[in-house]
A = this chain, B = another copy of it.
Amino acid sequence: MTEEKFFTISELASMFDISSRTIRYYEEMGMLTSITRESLTKQRSYSNTERRRLKLILRGKKLGFSLQEIKEMIDLYESNPEGKAEKERIIEFADKKLKEIDEQILQLQILKEEIFTHRERFLQEK
């Protein structure tokens, strides 16, 4: 059996050093779904699946994406498209994102070299 551990909202929050409000906000936005919520209890409870999703969201934020963009990417991860047209649309989206990311990496490398050059300048002058 897969040992399923569940988390309260504040456990999850301190786990990633964010506030409970933030998690509730992500849920409002439809980026997270607390599982047991639909059944008996009134309090949220999160599984490892949700923990992983939250991690994805926070990584996305660190990389400078908006919550909307992150949502789109996560939807890509979890989509199960029917018709061929749907599949093609998704593949196109993926290709677009891949291109954007490549460009972003390129720009970061340029920025890196620039900063390095300036750093050297100060070392030289020492």
Report A67-126 residues with CB < 8 Å from chain B CB: 73, 76-77, 81, 84, 87, 90-91, 94-95, 97-98, 101-102, 104-105, 107-109, 111-112, 114-116, 118-119, 122-123, 125-126
Number of copies: 2
- With A64-B64, A111-B59 as known contacts, state yes or no: A118 contacts B94, CB within 8 Å: yes
Determine chain A's interface SS by DSSP, over half rule. helix
The answer to whether A101 touches B91, judged by C-beta atoms less than 8 angstroms apart, is no
With an 8 A cutoff between CB atoms, is A62 at the interface? yes
Contact status of A112 and B108, CB under 8 A, knowing A64-B63, A91-B122, A122-B81: no
Q: How far is the CB of A118 from chain B (nearest CB, A)?
A: 6
Interface check A25, CB cutoff 8 A: no
A119 contact from B63, B84, B95, B116, Cβ within 8 A: B95
The chain B residue sitting closest to A64, CB to CB, is: B64
Can you list 9 residue pairs at the A/B interface with Cβ under 8 Å? A62-B104, A63-B108, A73-B115, A76-B115, A91-B122, A91-B123, A94-B122, A98-B112, A105-B109
